[in-house]
Amino acid sequence: MDVIGRAAELAALRRVIDRDPGVEPNLVLHGDPGVGKTVLLRAGIEYATARGVRVLGGSGHESEAQLAFAGLHQLFAPVLAYLDRVEPYHREVLRRVLGFEAGPVPDRLAISVASLAVLAEVAKDGPVLVAVEDAHWVDHPTREVMMFILLRLRPYDLRAIFARRPLLSRERVTPSIHMYEVNPLADVDAIELLARSYPDLPVRAREQVLRYAAGNPLALIELPTVLGTDAATGLEMLPPGASTRTKLESTFAGRVRELDTDLRRMLLLTALDGDLLENRAHPTSLAPPLLAELERVGLVTHDSTPSGLRFRHPLVRSAIIDSAAPDELRAANAELAERYRDTPERRVWHLAEAAVEADEAVAAEIERTALAASLRGGSGLAVPALRRAAALSPDTADAARRLHRGAELAGESGQLHLAQKLLDEARALLDDPAHGLVTRARIALLRDGDLSGARRLLEHTPVTDRVLHLWLTIATYTQDPDEWDRVGKALAAVENPDESTLLLYDVLSGAPVADAPRRLHTAFDLLPVTASPGRIVDLCRLATWLDVLHDHRTRLRDLIDRESGGGAVTHVAACHWFAAHDHFLAGDWDAAESSAEAGLDLCVRHDLELIAHDLRCTLGWLAANRGDVDSAREYSSTVERWASPRGSALHLALSARNLAAAALAEGDYETAYATLSTVAEHASYTPWLLFDLVESAVRTRRTATAYVEAAEQAHLADRSPRLRLHVFAAKALSTPDDNTAIALFRAALALPLVEQWPFDHARIRLALGETHRRNHRPGEARPELRRAAELFRRTGATTWQRRAEQELRATGLAIDARPTTDTLTAQQLEVANLAATGLTNKEIAERLYLSPRTVSAHLYRIFPKLGITTRSALRDALASL
């Protein structure tokens, strides 16, 4: 294929297809419409095919953008036989996703791993290229799977090239994804392309085309065909500064206007219905002679799509639609709405566009479909539908109600500015100050952490379960006893409050509730299939507070998978916080960090400041217990600057917890005690600080029995299994008689579920071993200390591991300090190997799809594990493993 003026772009494509050393095996072409992305993509496909590379992929279609995994179906349709080559589990996952087997949709990670496994099997038979056109129209679930695959192409004989619309300034570019902007042709190349295409074009016309086209190849090809014809009238009427896109659309629209009425009508139906022209599975109603006429005038072209035909350019479709009269559009949409009577998601949009005036029946149908979509992970997609339903509502009260519901879903999906706008639109229709206050309060809380402002808004709202849930959240952050009193009185005044509301109050207020875990299990069991994301998140919050989230991880993962992308993003961010906390307790600190980073990324993109600082507290907790004191202090400083003026006592307590944990890891017990004792005076988070507070008091030779007695009087041991473990351990630490202490430590270690919390478990083992050693019982101390050191090693608590090993040496046991590959986690080993080659933290982050901060944290933990202090020593240290 002879492509003029694209030598650099073609060279980049060929390097990817040839898998040149040092070149990422992926390339994403992006640029303006008509700039030549499709031509380059096809040139790459032609180059790959000539070298025996198998090509898979397809094209994104606007009509399938909301159909989950439609793109994945395109990708695997030619290679379905390879599903029999992968593990049965992977085969079952993909057969369910692709619609060949019944069953629930698996989680996104399982789908991604299975997809990569199939492509790896295909690549065993020869090199494979994944080529996708109009990638921006690929459905979101498929895009997530493709992103997973793109970052893992290197070990296999795979490469990928995508073409998509221009990259927007607000879009975040994923490290290791090679974005390549396709710019307009240089003047000399534009002149050559025009001369080759139209050698007889008069000079004046050539100058006019060059001026209009501005280097856009499609414009250079299309504009000469309309100059001097009736179709050029629209083009000549455009202002001098019109964009190339506008000029091209005007060109195509001129050709459409020249067609007869019946052909225009059928063409309009095809354009409104998405991809019927290109998809053989849904044949177009256009007969072959009509298609031949459309090809003659340059609106369709032969291609490699399933039907062998496609619109010449995406702008053709928009030109067809834009050039139609309003009556024509309504008639076509009405016909399509009738065609899709059994497909509600498609029908409602055509129904809405066909309506010429307010129609309650249409508005109600749109509302029902939108709300159903919101329960299947489509909160963000339901918002425009509800807005349209409001516009079609004859009654202003119904319109306002639908706008309010749209605002709620916009808030859930992280579209906080749109939520505010919808509330203002509803206020203009129905001037009732009480309406929408709960949503306004939620926006103020999520976006700005405005606790006092959110509370003032709720004070003017009738008390309902929804109001109480938000009020309970505010009280949890303020930790103000007066606030809890107000919430309690409001709850007492509600007739028949929901059981989940009562449970939230009982647990979050710190009241001793012995049967809370049982009530929570019951609440989860009674959740209906149509339960809202917010209701599930409330229960997951309680499970986190009660330290029993490990029993409900499936609910958490399902919600994250279902709502990620176009769903309830704010709830997904909160779930990442809960998941990070759960991973921390379970000893999987790398997973905890990944969850926290994923949640923080969502928060930054959607301005969710409140949850962002929750997640920073978790990242600080991780850093502190790993011994990365500088990072822990940096997180605490950020949190405290934000939380202090807002009165968020919970954030301040979590920050203090992190600073104390860092001090404990360093053996600075005085600082730890000073930090914790200040917080313990006023924060209801105190129960979870008991273990650290008592240890720091005992280590600084203070009396700690008062703290333990207070915990027993408050029945903390009844609040959660982990708190029971802490109370037993604190009692052992505070007991002056070592024999009694040993018995109490053993009683703590004999409690059910202690293995669920390896870091807590290891600390108790360490304290027991230290007590034995102080009493000159090295034989009894060693097993405890050895077990503690092993648990600390597994979790990544490096400084605590060193402390346990130091105690072991004190018992007379020699410790082999030579590192092995088991010393490092898989990701740490990968980071270490890349750092040893001389790559910077930023370069490593781009390779591994991590943040530079995460790479820095890994290196901080790697150095002491390898017994080195500088980056330059990495190569030798790794060679000795």
Q: What is the dihedral of CA 647, 650, 656, 661, to 10 degrees?
A: -170
For the chain, what is the largest distance between any 2 Cα atoms, rounded to a whole number of angstroms? 105
CA geometry: angle 864, 867, 869, nearest 5 deg: 70
Predicted pLDDT of residue 699: 93
Give the N- to C-terminal CA distance of the chain in Å, as an integer: 52
Predicted pLDDT of residue 549: 92
d(CA 51, CA 492): 76
Distances (CA, A) of 321 to 111, 271, 315, 326: 37, 7, 10, 10
* Long-range contacts of 754-757, Cβ-Cβ distance < 8 Å, separation of 24 or more: 754/725, 756/550, 756/585, 756/586, 756/721, 756/722, 757/547, 757/585, 757/586, 757/587, 757/722, 757/725
Paired residues of 459 in beta bridges:
none
Q: Over 66-123, what HEC string results? A: CCCCHHHHHHHHHHHHHHHHCCHHHHHHHHHHCCCCCCCCCCHHHHHHHHHHHHHHHH
Strands 158-164 and 179-181: unpaired
Predicted pLDDT of residue 228: 44
Contact 658, 624 (CB under 8 A): yes
| HSE (side-chain half, CA atoms, 13 Å) at 768 | 28
Contact 547, 721 (CB under 8 A): yes
Q: Is 489 left (phi over 0), alpha (psi -120 to 50) or beta?
A: alpha
Contact 627, 798 (CB under 8 A): yes
Residue among 762, 751, 765 at smallest CA distance from 723: 751
Contact 126, 54 (CB under 8 A): yes
Alpha helices in 700-737 (DSSP H): 705-713, 721-734
Contact 800, 830 (CB under 8 A): no
pLDDT along the chain (881 residues), means of 10: 86 92 90 86 92 90 72 90 89 85 73 91 93 86 88 90 78 78 89 86 79 78 60 41 55 73 81 60 60 72 54 71 84 87 77 83 86 72 84 89 89 86 86 79 92 90 89 92 90 88 89 82 87 90 91 89 79 94 94 90 88 95 89 92 94 94 91 87 72 94 90 85 92 93 94 92 95 92 94 90 90 69 72 86 74 76 74 80 71
Contacts of 878 (CB under 8 A, 6+ apart): 832, 833, 836, 866
Q: Which helix (H) or strand (E) holds 56?
A: strand 54-59
Q: Residue 178 in 3-state DSSP?
A: coil
A 10 A CB-CB count for 786 gives 19
Predicted pLDDT of residue 344: 74
Contact 381, 372 (CB under 8 A): no
Residue among 255, 375, 374, 379 at smallest CA distance from 311: 255
Contact 340, 273 (CB under 8 A): no
Alpha helices in 647-796 (DSSP H): 649-666, 669-680, 690-699, 705-713, 721-734, 738-749, 758-774, 778-795
Predicted pLDDT of residue 235: 42
Contact 532, 373 (CB under 8 A): no
Q: Which helix (H) or strand (E) holds 128?
A: strand 128-133
Distances (CA, A) of 114 to 79, 111, 598: 14, 5, 22
Strands 54-59 and 300-302: unpaired
Paired residues of 131 in beta bridges:
57, 161
A 10 A CB-CB count for 702 gives 16
Predicted pLDDT of residue 880: 76
Distances (CA, A) of 646 to 448, 460, 610: 9, 21, 11
Contacts of 624 (CB under 8 A, 6+ apart): 632, 658, 659, 661, 662, 665
As to burial, measured by CB atoms within 10 angstroms (0-12 exposed, 13-18 middle, 19+ buried), residue 466 is middle
d(CA 79, CA 125): 12
Predicted pLDDT of residue 739: 92
pTM for the predicted model, two decimal places: 0.69
Predicted pLDDT of residue 849: 61
Q: Is 142 left (phi over 0), alpha (psi -120 to 50) or beta?
A: alpha
Identity at 188, one-letter amino acid code: V
d(CA 625, CA 665): 6
